[in-house]
């Protein structure tokens, strides 16, 4: 109930996508939301707001850093940056996710015993 995205995705999915996006380049919240929406072709029904609790969790676990700065559109924004721990966490999560996905795919594959 508290983490509304959990209803649509599995726990940690949003964090994983955020980390992956931040790995490419540091971004502020709005840009991060737009990027995830765009790259997922709007397939994932994510409320933009749900990004913020996820970002707070990552901040608390010290996987990302945040600093106030000026965006390309000349706004005062908080820019999130991946740090070393975050990169490592991402790697770990992605491999875990791939294993899980593979398992699910095998079970779902037609003709599988």
Binding site for another protein (CB under 8 A): 1-4, 28-30, 33, 47-50, 52-53, 55-57, 59-60, 68, 73, 75-78
Shortest Å, Cβ 41 to another protein: 16
Which of 16, 55 has the CB closer to another protein? Answer: 55
Which of 70, 104 has the CB closer to another protein? Answer: 70
Chain centroid to CA 77: 19
CA distance 61 to 55: 10
With contact defined as beta carbons under 8 Å apart, do 96 and 78 qualify?
no
């Amino acid at each position: 109930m508290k983490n509304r995205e959990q209803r649509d995705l599995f726990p940690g999915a949003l964090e994983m996508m955020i980390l992956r996006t931040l790995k490419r380049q540091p971004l502020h919240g709005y840009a991060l939301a737009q990027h995830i929406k765009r790259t997922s072709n709007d397939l994932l029904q994510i409320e933009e707001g749900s990004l913020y609790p996820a970002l707070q969790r990552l901040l608390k676990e010290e996987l990302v850093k945040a600093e106030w700065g000026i965006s390309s559109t000349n706004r005062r924004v908080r820019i999130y940056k991946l740090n070393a721990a975050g990169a490592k966490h991402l790697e770990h999560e992605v491999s875990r996710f791939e294993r899980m996905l593979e398992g699910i795919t095998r079970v779902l594959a037609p003709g599988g015993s």
